Structure 1
Amino acid sequence: MKLVNSKSVVQSVVLLQILDDNTLVVVDANTTVRYFKHDSLELFGGFKVGINHERYKSSVVAYSQNGEYLATLSADCRESRLYNTQSKQMVTKVDRHHGEASCVGIDPLSRYMFSCGDDGKTFAIDVKSGKLVFTLPHHADTINDIAFTKNANWVATASYDRKISLFNLVTMSPKDKLIAHSAPVIKLNFFHKNKLVSVDKNSSAIIWDIYTGKVLQRLEGIHDEVTQMCISGDEQFLFLGTTLGYILLYDLNTYELISGKYIKMVSPITALEFDVELNYLIVGTDDGFLMQYDIYEGEERLKELLKRKDFAEIHKLAEYNPILTYTKVYKLISNLWKNTFKQAKIALQNGDKNKAMLLFNQFKNIPSKNRIIQKLIKDYVEFDKFLNFAKEGKLALAYNLVNTYPVYKESKIYQALEERWKKAFVQAQKYILQPKGIPKAKEILAPYRGISEKTKFVQEILTKGEIYKRLKDAIGQKEFKICFELIKRHPFLKEFPDYDALMTYGDTLYIQAHKYIKENNTHSALKLLQVLKVFSDFSEEAQELIQEIQTKQKFFNAVQDNDIATAYNMMAVSEDLLETDDGVILQQQWNNDVMKANKYAALGNVQDVYAVLKPYMKIESKYTSLATIFGWCYIVQLETALEQNIPQTVLEKGIKNYILSFGLQDQIEDYFESFKKKYPASKLNFELLKKGAISMWRPSMIVKSILD
């Protein structure tokens, strides 16, 4: 791949990120921040933080998408820090970890800075106030990476304990940990609607479904330590950067390795970013370079070669840049090859080898195509023999050759043989259902007794005519459940035309159901899908579509009736609803209200928090989120009271009240350490206190002050 552009920043590149305004932010190992124009790499600004990072395999710095905040580890990794990029002032620092801080992150909505540590803890800090809001589920060992979905609904942490922890930021609730890696998990990235890719220290990569927690695929072909990853704008391609400077390329639809050496650098790859607008892959290296690559390099050249029908050069170009095979231009070439191949087979079936070779002439200089051509020519050497056997009625010999050369199945003569078989089979079926018709049926099917794949059907129809009659009756009465139970127990029924008619009917129902869904005629769609549930080929999808339609109907009805409690509760269990127009509006309203409430929570102002969040007090799915905000508000009250030298007994009562409402959390444990420093003689013992839990919190437990 050729460079589009490159720049040197001297020091190792530890972060590349394109912000909401299309500015490319580059942060180096000295935490020098530079702003570049994303298309030209023209430098137009920046500033220095001056923290030297000697280790940067994990995310030692993070930038908010709106460009307002920078998070970084300190040089000694004893703490993480949050800076306002406009004022260049530190907003807060997190020194709560027992051990070193290991990585940082800022969610895509620029609400929270996350500080992860060797102690397996992750603290979520409100970026505006710098206050601790909540913590993510703990790991048993160091956290190596943190990742977010684009819509900021999910956050995941990867750890040395070989587990991945998922947390829903909409409901503020944890999901089950993902367990399948046999080594420490070092990198994470979300893609599509519900997928996650993770890589461990042994270079094993896994694709997950985050809703089910199941492993979808293990990626092949990684033989080097993965240092960075990123995904293309259309989420079709995965790029993995390695210690040896290679970039591996994967197809995220098939999970196949496209290229193990897509790009090769002379230095370890330390940062990757994808420019969605330009389709550029941006690479940062350990020796301080940032480079742009056009992943569709050569597409214009491809068009020129297609006009000249220079297929050998097209093939070479596609080998040089395999992503070109995904372009519309290359699909035209692929279709041309398919059509040529089809016409050549027809020529060979007609005994015209010269015409076939003439058709293949434009592709013969392509090694991969030439191998296919030579195999086809070789396969058709005995086609004349097959033709003669078919014409002479030597069906067993003819079918034997078809088994040896499956390509013959595409010929007209084979299709004629199959048509003759079906007619004979249908004739035999009629006689089987007649009294004393078996001898005639045997006579009709006699020519097929020496053909292994036909013999079993011949034997079964002669002995199980009654079963076929039951199938016909069930189809006539539209008792489809009985039909498929019979077919499941007696596969020979698939040879009957009745089965073909049944499947055609299923296809028709499926197409019509999707048409109704597109037209928003859900009532008619549901009627058809209820029938399709019985069809084995459509059963699973029909069930899913029925559930999806019913859920959306209930959700839209709730929105129309202004029943926001039902609407939000449904959104909490269905990610699809969050993507509807109404879902986006409701979620945006919630996010805006939470931002307002957080401002008051940072001041310990319960009354104003309540005033903002009052519309949500009866929404069960919001209880955990509400508890998180009010819990933060009460911690602020306790911290303020400690600073104001409120009497020890009052503070102890506040601690007891907090634990009774929210249980033992990191926030109250950290506060208690500060309290003990000031009041070392306190006899307050957590183990003896009655404890609540955040999952059991209810709005009825709200009080104006936790100290009362």
Structure 2
Amino acid sequence: MLPVKSSSFSEAVVYTKIIDENRVLVVDSSTTMHYLDINTLNVKSAIKCNIVHFRYSSNVFGFSSNAKYFVVISSDCKESRLYDIKTKKIISKIDRHHGDVSCVAFDPQDRYMFSAGDDGKIFASDVKSGQLAFTLTSHIDCVNDISFSDNAQLVATASYDKNIHISSLSTMTLIYKLRAHSAPVMKLQFLSKQRLFSIDKNNSAIIWDTSNGKIITRLDGLHDDIAQVTLGDDEKFLFLATALGYVLVYDLNSYELISRRYIKLSNKITSINFDENNKHLIIGTDSGEFILYEIYLGQNHLTQLLREKNYVQIYAEVEKNPLLKYTETYIVLDTLWIKTVQKAKELFGKSDKKRAVGIFGNFVTIPSKKQVMNNLIKEYEEFDKFVLHAKHGKITLAYTLANKHPLYKETPLYKLMELNWKKSFMLAQKYMLEPKSADKVNEILAPYRGLSEKSKLIHALSTNAKIHRRFKIAIAQKDFKLVYELLKIHPFLKEYSEYDSLSKYADMLYVNSQKFIAKNDTHSAVKLLRVLLDFEDFKDEAKDTLLEIENKHKFFNSIRDNDIVVAYNLLDSYGDLQNSIEGVNLQKLWDDDLCTVNGHAFRGDAIKIKKNLEKYMKINSKNVPIANVFARCYITQLEVSTREKQEQSNIEKGIKNYILYYGLDDKIFTFFEQFKKNYPNSKLNLQSQTEGSISSWRPSMIVKSILE
């Protein structure tokens, strides 16, 4: 792949971001922010911070989506700093890590700045106030990466402890601890459709289902150390950049490796991003290269080649750029090829070999396609013999050839043979249920007795007439539980016509249920889905769909009845509801209220917090985030009391109360260090106090002042 544009900088490129249709941000290892014209790559402006980074495999820099703030790790990696871009002033610092800061990030809604460290801790600061808002569940080793779902409801953290934590940003609680990697987890990337990508130090990659914490699949073909990750073209592709300068590409629908060496550079890739507007892959390297690649480069030429029917050159172009397979032009050609092969099979099936070969036309000069044609010719060499046996009633010989050449089974002649078999078998079934009809049954089935696959069914028919009768009765009575119990014990029943009818009936129920759901006629859909619960192939999906419908009904009814307790509990429990208009509005109401009370918390005003959050106090899923707000509020009260030099005994009482309510968390440890500096004579021992827990916090524990 050749780049379409490139530029270079004197330092390593550690971060890139598309600002708008006209600008791209490039940040180098000295934390100089270069704003470039996306068309010319000319630098329009720059901001220098003079914070030099020597390690940047993890995110040392973050830029808010509203372009108002950035976060950066200090040169000595001891603190993370939040800046206002307009004023270029520091809003806040996080220096609470015991060890180095490992990575930083903003959530997609720019509410919080996150700082993760080598100590496994993850702190979240309120962007507007700069105050510490909450901490996520800690890892027991260094945090390597932070990723967020697009709707900003989930945050995932990867660690050297080989675990991934998925937490809710609504409830600020841990939802899943994912344990499947055998090495430190290095990179994460949320995907659409409730999925998460992760890769570890041994280059083992997993796609997770974030709705249940289970593995969807493991990716094959990874051998190099992955340095950076990004998605492209509306998440069709997963691009993985390696430390050796390669870019791998995966299809996110099939999870197949498209190319192991889509791009090859001579330097380590330190940043990778995607410009959806121009379909450009944006790459930065440790040598300061800034390069843009058009992922569909050559598609206009492909269209012209299709008009000229120059199929050979089209496939040659696709060899150069495998992503051209996803263009409309290639899809048209591929569809034409599939139709050509199918038409050739039909002609071979009619013994018209000359026309079958001729139909390949311009595809014959393509080696891979010619091979397919030659394979078809070879496969149909004995087809005339097959036809002869079938027409002369030599059923055993005809079926033997069909088993030897599976493509014969696609022909009308073979399908006619199978139809005759089914008719014969059905007729035999009918006579088998009548007394003294054994001779008639033997006569009907005699032509098929030499075939092993048919003989098994014939034997089962003769020895299991009673079971068949019971099977028919169960279907007639719509006792589908019994039907499937019989099928488990007696698989031969699947060869009976009743089973085919049963399968068609189940398919019809499913299709109609989906049509009713599409029309919002859930009442009719539920009736059909309840029947499908008895069908083995559909019961799991029917169960999940019924639960989804039930939850949606409860949710929308609770919205109608203004029952926010039920509404929020459902919203926080079921991710699908968060994508509804009502769910988005409800979440925004909570986010806005939380933002408001965070301001009160940083002023130590517990009364205003209680007043603003009163309507959420009975919602179980909100207990922890509300507790976090009050914890922050009470820490502020303790900090104010220390600054005002209040009585030592009063402050000590406040510390004891805090530990009783919230336990020994990072906030109280940090405050206590400052308290000891101001009150060196204090004998208070934190470890000896009666300790509570934020998880057991209840609204009844709210007080106006923690010092009371």
Q: Give the TM-score normalised by structure 1.
A: 0.98
Specify the code of the residue in structure 1 equivalent to 2:560.
Q
Is the CA contact (8 Å cut-off) linking 1:442 and 1:462 kept in structure 2? no
Deviation at 1:24, TM superposition (A): 2.1
Is the CA contact (8 Å cut-off) linking 1:15 and 1:26 kept in structure 2? yes
Task: Report SS of the residue matched to 2:365.
Answer: coil
Residues 404-427 of structure 1: CA deviation (Å, up to 9, x unaligned): 211110111111110110011011
Closer/same/farther in 2, CA of residues 268 and 325 from structure 1, 3 Å limit: same
**Unaligned 5+ runs, structure 2:** none
Deviation at 1:302, TM superposition (A): 2.3
Specify the code of the residue in structure 2 equivalent to 1:273.
N
- Equivalences, count: 708
Deviation at 1:361, TM superposition (A): 2.6
Specify the code of the residue in structure 2 equivalent to 1:158.
A
Deviation at 1:51, TM superposition (A): 0.6
Is the CA contact (8 Å cut-off) linking 1:273 and 1:283 kept in structure 2? yes
Structure 1 partner of 2:346: 346
How far, CA to CA, are the matches of 1:617 and 1:377 in structure 2? 75
Deviation at 1:42, TM superposition (A): 4.0
Is the CA contact (8 Å cut-off) linking 1:20 and 1:66 kept in structure 2? no
Deviation at 1:485, TM superposition (A): 1.8
> Are 1:180 and 2:175 matched, yes or no?
no
Deviation at 1:161, TM superposition (A): 1.3
Specify the code of the residue in structure 2 equivalent to 1:166.
I
Specify the code of the residue in structure 1 equivalent to 2:453.
E
Is the CA contact (8 Å cut-off) linking 1:638 and 1:654 kept in structure 2? yes
Is the CA contact (8 Å cut-off) linking 2:104 and 2:113 kept in structure 1? yes
Is the CA contact (8 Å cut-off) linking 2:227 and 2:240 kept in structure 1? yes
Structure 1 partner of 2:408: 408
How far, CA to CA, are the matches of 1:97 and 1:375 in structure 2? 65
Specify the code of the residue in structure 2 equivalent to 1:420.
N
Is the CA contact (8 Å cut-off) linking 1:20 and 1:65 kept in structure 2? no
Deviation at 1:54, TM superposition (A): 0.9
> Are 1:251 and 2:251 matched, yes or no?
yes
Structure 2 partner of 1:337: 337
Task: Report SS of the residue matched to 2:50.
Answer: coil
| Residues 669-708 of structure 1 mapped to structure 2, 5 A cutoff | 669-708=669-708
Closer/same/farther in 2, CA of residues 233 and 558 from structure 1, 3 Å limit: farther
Structure 2 partner of 1:615: 615
How far, CA to CA, are the matches of 2:500 and 2:359 in structure 1? 36
How far, CA to CA, are the matches of 1:548 and 1:31 in structure 2? 48
How far, CA to CA, are the matches of 1:40 and 1:545 in structure 2? 51
| Residues 202-217 of structure 1 mapped to structure 2, 5 A cutoff | 202-217=202-217
Structure 1 partner of 2:66: 66
Range with greater deviation from structure 2 (227-236 or 363-372): 363-372
Range with greater deviation from structure 2 (342-351 or 653-662): 342-351
| Residues 249-328 of structure 1 mapped to structure 2, 5 A cutoff | 249-328=249-328
Specify the code of the residue in structure 1 equivalent to 2:605.
N
Task: Report SS of the residue matched to 1:520.
Answer: coil
How far, CA to CA, are the matches of 1:75 and 1:332 in structure 2? 54
Specify the code of the residue in structure 2 equivalent to 1:145.
D
How far, CA to CA, are the matches of 2:525 and 2:51 in structure 1? 61
Range with greater deviation from structure 2 (37-46 or 63-72): 37-46
Is the CA contact (8 Å cut-off) linking 1:14 and 1:27 kept in structure 2? yes
Residues 49-68 of structure 1: CA deviation (Å, up to 9, x unaligned): 11111111111111111111
Range with greater deviation from structure 2 (481-490 or 518-527): 481-490
Is the CA contact (8 Å cut-off) linking 2:80 and 2:115 kept in structure 1? yes
How far, CA to CA, are the matches of 2:395 and 2:646 in structure 1? 100
Structure 2 partner of 1:151: 151
Task: Report SS of the residue matched to 1:566.
Answer: helix
Residues 464-507 of structure 1: CA deviation (Å, up to 9, x unaligned): 11111112222222222222222222111111111111111111
How far, CA to CA, are the matches of 1:65 and 1:159 in structure 2? 25
Structure 1 partner of 2:386: 386
Is the CA contact (8 Å cut-off) linking 1:230 and 1:240 kept in structure 2? yes
Deviation at 1:589, TM superposition (A): 1.0
Residues 678-700 of structure 1: CA deviation (Å, up to 9, x unaligned): 22332222232112111111122
Specify the code of the residue in structure 1 equivalent to 2:154.
W
Closer/same/farther in 2, CA of residues 412 and 193 from structure 1, 3 Å limit: closer
How far, CA to CA, are the matches of 1:319 and 1:602 in structure 2? 59
Specify the code of the residue in structure 2 equivalent to 1:34.
H
Structure 1 partner of 2:44: 44
How far, CA to CA, are the matches of 1:366 and 1:351 in structure 2? 25
Task: Report SS of the residue matched to 1:650.
Answer: helix
Is the CA contact (8 Å cut-off) linking 2:228 and 2:271 kept in structure 1? yes
> Are 1:453 and 2:453 matched, yes or no?
yes
> Are 1:650 and 2:643 matched, yes or no?
no
How far, CA to CA, are the matches of 1:436 and 1:274 in structure 2? 76
Is the CA contact (8 Å cut-off) linking 1:62 and 1:104 kept in structure 2? yes
Is the CA contact (8 Å cut-off) linking 2:617 and 2:623 kept in structure 1? yes
Residues 544-581 of structure 1: CA deviation (Å, up to 9, x unaligned): 11111111011000001111111001001100111111
Structure 1 partner of 2:11: 11
Specify the code of the residue in structure 2 equivalent to 1:663.
G
Task: Report SS of the residue matched to 2:58.
Answer: coil
How far, CA to CA, are the matches of 1:252 and 1:361 in structure 2? 34
How far, CA to CA, are the matches of 1:66 and 1:673 in structure 2? 36
Is the CA contact (8 Å cut-off) linking 1:282 and 1:292 kept in structure 2? yes
Is the CA contact (8 Å cut-off) linking 2:22 and 2:39 kept in structure 1? no
How far, CA to CA, are the matches of 2:434 and 2:37 in structure 1? 83
How far, CA to CA, are the matches of 2:574 and 2:29 in structure 1? 42
Task: Report SS of the residue matched to 1:133.
Answer: strand
Specify the code of the residue in structure 2 equivalent to 1:97.
H
Specify the code of the residue in structure 2 equivalent to 1:107.
D
| Residues 488-637 of structure 1 mapped to structure 2, 5 A cutoff | 488-637=488-637
Structure 2 partner of 1:163: 163
Specify the code of the residue in structure 2 equivalent to 1:569.
N
Specify the code of the residue in structure 2 equivalent to 1:93.
K
Is the CA contact (8 Å cut-off) linking 1:39 and 1:278 kept in structure 2? no
Closer/same/farther in 2, CA of residues 372 and 696 from structure 1, 3 Å limit: same
Deviation at 1:369, TM superposition (A): 1.8
Residues 628-652 of structure 1: CA deviation (Å, up to 9, x unaligned): 1111111111112112211111110
Range with greater deviation from structure 2 (143-152 or 37-46): 37-46
Deviation at 1:233, TM superposition (A): 4.3
Deviation at 1:591, TM superposition (A): 0.8
How far, CA to CA, are the matches of 1:267 and 1:566 in structure 2? 55
Closer/same/farther in 2, CA of residues 19 and 566 from structure 1, 3 Å limit: farther
Superposed CA RMSD in Å reads: 1.5
Task: Report SS of the residue matched to 1:287.
Answer: coil
**Unaligned 5+ runs, structure 1:** none
Residues 583-617 of structure 1: CA deviation (Å, up to 9, x unaligned): 00000111111111111211212222223222212
Is the CA contact (8 Å cut-off) linking 2:137 and 2:173 kept in structure 1? no
Residues 652-683 of structure 1: CA deviation (Å, up to 9, x unaligned): 01111111111111111111122122223322
Residues 236-294 of structure 1: CA deviation (Å, up to 9, x unaligned): 21000011111000011111101001111121111111112222211111111222222
Q: Give the TM-score normalised by structure 2.
A: 0.98
Structure 2 partner of 1:53: 53
Deviation at 1:22, TM superposition (A): 6.8
How far, CA to CA, are the matches of 2:516 and 2:203 in structure 1? 47
Specify the code of the residue in structure 1 equivalent to 2:199.
V
How far, CA to CA, are the matches of 1:38 and 1:607 in structure 2? 50
How far, CA to CA, are the matches of 2:21 and 2:645 in structure 1? 47
Range with greater deviation from structure 2 (604-613 or 436-445): 604-613
Task: Report SS of the residue matched to 1:248.
Answer: strand
Residues 370-398 of structure 1: CA deviation (Å, up to 9, x unaligned): 22222111111111121122222222222
Specify the code of the residue in structure 1 equivalent to 2:338.
K
